[in-house]
């Protein structure tokens, strides 16, 4: 969407505050020994208390309030009583929701407890790349140039990017124009970021894979060549200068 007045900005801020708070609290709640279903229920309760509704459930009938992916699962993991978190697990939580007609999206990868499996370097790369990408976005900048920056930064650190997962426009629904904000230079994408538009910028930084494939459950995605992936995501408003990060309170950079 494009922000045209103050009430729209306030609406987006409230929706973003809900998803950011839910993500932050879920990160704090996550620990070895609990199931991803328990973690999801905790997040769902927070959204409900803030008057927000799960965006993946509303939009796609997703079987959970949030997407929780563990270890070799890249994204869209279904919360389950059978998946028990363990020390050193790489986990990704993606929280998106609707509140009073406004939609916002954010996510982040982190390690459960101590980093015994050495995932932190990948996580740090994803965070740094998201920060750099967002700091270079303003009205008129080519979307493909930001994709090029992300892939270049990933390669510098010895990583790859997932080419069939992208950021996207958001605001009046979960996915809007621009539909694809890729992590690489898509030479066929001639779109530019527009001032006052709301977009969800996200990284998909991978150790070995470049494509994510959907599993038999119809939701969970894993890499075509295995390995691990870290994702970090903020919903922002594009300006003439520094973007406004609506989901900044999630603390994913910390």
Write out pLDDT tens, residues 1-44. 999 999 999 999 999 999 999 999 999 999 999 999 999 999 99
Burial class (CB in 10 A: 0-12, 13-18, 19+), 31: exposed
Q: In 3-state terms, what secondary structure has residue 77?
A: coil
Does the structure show a pLDDT above 90 at 130?
Answer: yes
pLDDT of residue 254: 83
What CATH number corresponds to the domain at position 143?
3.90.230.10
Cβ neighbour number for residue 33 with a 10 Å cutoff: 11
Q: How many helices (H) and strands (E) does the chain have?
A: 5, 15
Any bridge partners for residue 167, and if so which? 181
- At residue 207, the 3 state secondary structure works out as coil
Residue 49, annotated as binding a ligand: no
- 232, containing H or E segment: strand 232-237
41 is in an annotated binding site: no
119 contacts 38 by C-beta, under 8 angstroms: no
Query: Cβ distance 77 to 92 under 8 Å?
Result: yes
**Residue at 209 is within a domain:** yes
Q: Can you tell me the mean pLDDT for 127-155?
A: 98
In a domain, 191, yes or no: yes
Residue 231 sits at φ, ψ, to 5 deg, of: -130, 135
Residue 231, CB-side half-sphere exposure with 13 Å CA sphere:
33
**What tokens does 118 get?**
């050495």
240 is in an annotated binding site: no
Distance of alpha carbon 202 from alpha carbon 205, whole angstroms: 10
DSSP state of 192: B
Residue 168 assigned ligand-binding role: yes
- The reply to whether 1 falls in a domain is no
Alpha-carbon distances, residue 89 vs 54, 116, 158 (angstroms): 25, 8, 21
**Residue 208 domain flag:** yes
Q: Locate all alpha helices (DSSP H) within the chain, ordered by sequence.
A: 6-29, 36-49, 55-60, 120-135, 143-156
| 52 band by pLDDT with thresholds 50, 70 and 90 | very high
Known binder of ligand: residue 233? yes
The 10s digit of each residue's pLDDT in 187-243 is 999 999 999 999 999 999 999 999 999 999 999 999 999 999 999 999 999 999 999
The average pLDDT across 58-81 equals: 97
Is residue 105 a known part of a binding site? yes
Whole-angstrom distance, CA of residue 137 vs CA of residue 47: 29
Q: Does residue 149 lie within any of the structural domains?
A: yes
Instruction: Count up the domains in the chain and report the number.
Output: 1
Q: Which residue range is the domain that position 53 belongs to?
A: 6-250
Q: Distance between CA atoms of 243 and 137, rounded to whole angstroms?
A: 7
**Residue 212 located in a structural domain:** yes
pLDDT at 150 over 90: yes
| CB neighbours of residue 163 within 10 Å | 18
């Amino acid at each position: 969407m494009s922000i045209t007045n103050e009430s729209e900005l306030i609406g987006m801020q409230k929706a973003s505050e809900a998803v950011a708070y839910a993500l932050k609290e879920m990160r704090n709640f996550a620990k070895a020994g609990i199931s991803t279903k328990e973690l999801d229920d905790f997040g769902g309760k927070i959204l409900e208390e803030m008057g927000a509704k799960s965006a993946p459930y509303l939009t796609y009938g997703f079987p959970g309030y949030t997407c929780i992916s563990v270890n070799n699962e890249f994204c869209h993991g279904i919360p389950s009583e059978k998946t028990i978190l363990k020390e050193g697990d790489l986990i990704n939580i993606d929280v998106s929701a609707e509140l009073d007609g406004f939609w916002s999206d954010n996510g982040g990868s982190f390690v459960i407890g101590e980093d015994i499996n050495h995932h932190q370097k990948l996580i740090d790369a994803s965070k740094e790349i998201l920060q750099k990408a967002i700091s270079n976005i303003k009205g008129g900048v080519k979307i493909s140039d930001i994709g090029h920056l992300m892939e270049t930064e990933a390669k510098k650190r010895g990583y790859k990017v997932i080419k069939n997962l992208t950021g996207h426009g958001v605001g009046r629904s979960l996915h809007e124009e621009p539909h694809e904000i890729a992590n690489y230079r898509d030479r066929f994408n001639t779109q530019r970021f527009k001032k006052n538009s709301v977009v969800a910028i996200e990284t998909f930084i991978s150790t070995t894979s470049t494509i994510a494939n959907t599993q038999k459950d119809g939701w969970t995605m894993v890499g075509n060549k295995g390995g691990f992936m870290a994702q970090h995501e903020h919903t922002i408003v594009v300006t003439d200068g520094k973007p406004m990060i609506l989901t900044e309170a999630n603390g994913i950079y910390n």
